[in-house]
Amino acid sequence: MSNRQELKSLNLSIKPCGPVKATVTLPGSKYIANRLLPLCALASTTSHIKNVVNNDDIQTAAAGLSQLGYQIQTDGNALKINPRQVTAMKPIDIYTAHSGTFSRFVAAIAALEKVPVNIECSAKMATRPMIELFDALRSLSVEIDTPNGCLPAKIIGPVKGNECRLDASRSSQYLSALLIIAPLLDDGLRINLTGSVVSRAYVDMTIQLMKKMSVNVEEDEQGFYVPPGQKYQGIDFMISPDPVSSSYFMGAAAISGGEILLKNFDKNSLQGEAGFYQVLEKMGCKITFQGDDLLVEGPERLQAISIDMGGMPDAVQTLAVVACFAQGITTITNIEHLAFKESNRIEDTANELRKTGIKVESGKDYLKIEGGIPHGANIETHDDHRMAMSMALLGIKTPDICILDSQVVAKSFPKYWDYLADIGISTFPQTKSLG
């Protein structure tokens, strides 16, 4: 085992550095891969997916779908997904680990089965909400046995009916889950929404991928409708680099006053976070497109901004850390749903930044961060991969920043610490408490 690999299981301290200057080619988007796996599994023909990031979430999804009888073959960073040949005849057990996305998607897919499906998960995932999705499935005659509206759960289908009501105000994944299974229903599916949809960009991503696979989704004032008589057709698909992962490297350029060239950056990505470079541009960064690549150059002094981040929620923590080094108070709004992620990404982010001496005001749906000079601290990751990756950026200019349980990055970006090292941000194992 290499020294780099050994570091991943330890608490890591970040060594401050000067301006970074590097070219980075990032792995494919886990958000697109998370959707393509179930979509392709439900297709009537074979699919080939390339540039699939090899992280815990994708491995969990592939294993879970395999338990349901779907055929997934792995070859490096490519997947071949064949239609299922055999219908399940006995109860199925699935483990979703920490994956909120797969937990929601597979709960809906399990409702297609005629046999009971038992879904288990990690202790952390067992605290995350599922009740709105469960209620929608119950209205479609699905029996769900769950102690508290969360996982674990026993799901007994199949779905009967073609219309349900859904509250997607806490997670857009509920809506995506129902849309994904809709073409498999004989009479299609109408989803009537009872409120606003949070993180709408992720629903749009699901719908656009469904369209690429020959399924159309209609939208009206009441909600969404998937007409009957449609089938997913397998596709060949190259996944573009992950915009959320790119935000950390853009942030590194912004904080250090350096420059990062992101190769093959898809500014037309299905993900809202692909627009994060525009946020940094407002803070003073220079943005240049060079063909298919994006160059981000940090300024001498970052400027605070006020911004609605509802469309790019998974870049909020990156922005929060960048804001620590900006002149003025940065206000981040429309983020209420972040309280229900892997951690409470509002309060936990605020508390970790306060440990470094940064003044932070937090509320139900906002963060206000006053730029300053952070000091060293032990940063708890709260079992949240994005907490670890974003907070590590504090260490670019701040001595004695230690990321506890750094291995949590394996959920989405297992080689993150290697990538930081490659752009000149070094880490080393920390065994002493900073107090």
Tell me the binding residues for 3-phosphoshikimate. Answer: 30, 35, 171-173, 199, 314, 341
Give the torsion through C-alpha atoms of 104, 275, 413, 400, to 10 deg.
Answer: -120
- Bind-site residues for phosphoenolpyruvate: 30, 100, 128, 173, 345, 386, 411
- Bind-site residues: 30, 35, 100, 128, 171-173, 199, 314, 341, 345, 386, 411
Residues ≥6 apart with Cβ < 8 Å to 196: 168, 169
Secondary structure, 3-state, the chain? CCHHHHHCCCCEEECCCCCCEEEECCCECHHHHHHHHHHHHCCCCCEEEECCCCCHHHHHHHHHHHHCCCEEEEECCEEEEECCCCCCCCCEEEECCCCHHHHHHHHHHHCCCCCCEEEECCCCHHHCCCHHHHHHHHCCCCEEECCCCCCCEEEECCCCCCEEEECCCCCCHHHHHHHHHHHHCCCCEEEEECCCCCCHHHHHHHHHHHHHCCCCCEECCCEEEECCCCCCCCCEEECCECHHHHHHHHHHHHHHCCEEEECCCCCCCCCHHHHHHHHHHHCCCEEEEECCEEEEECCCCEECCEEECCCCHHHHHHHHHHHCCEECEEEEECCHHHHHCCCCCCHHHHHHHHHCCCEEEEECCEEEEECCCCCCEEECCCCCHHHHHHHHHHHHCCCCEEECCHHHHHHCCCCHHHHHHHCCCCEEECCCCCC
| Whether the Cβ atoms of residue 361 and residue 351 lie closer than 8 Å to each other | no
Q: How far apart are CA 398 and CA 358, in angstroms?
A: 12
Residues ≥6 apart with Cβ < 8 Å to 116: 91, 92, 154, 155, 156
Which residues are catalytic, by number? 314
Nearest-CA neighbor of 170 among 135, 220, 207? 135
| Whether the Cβ atoms of residue 40 and residue 49 lie closer than 8 Å to each other | yes
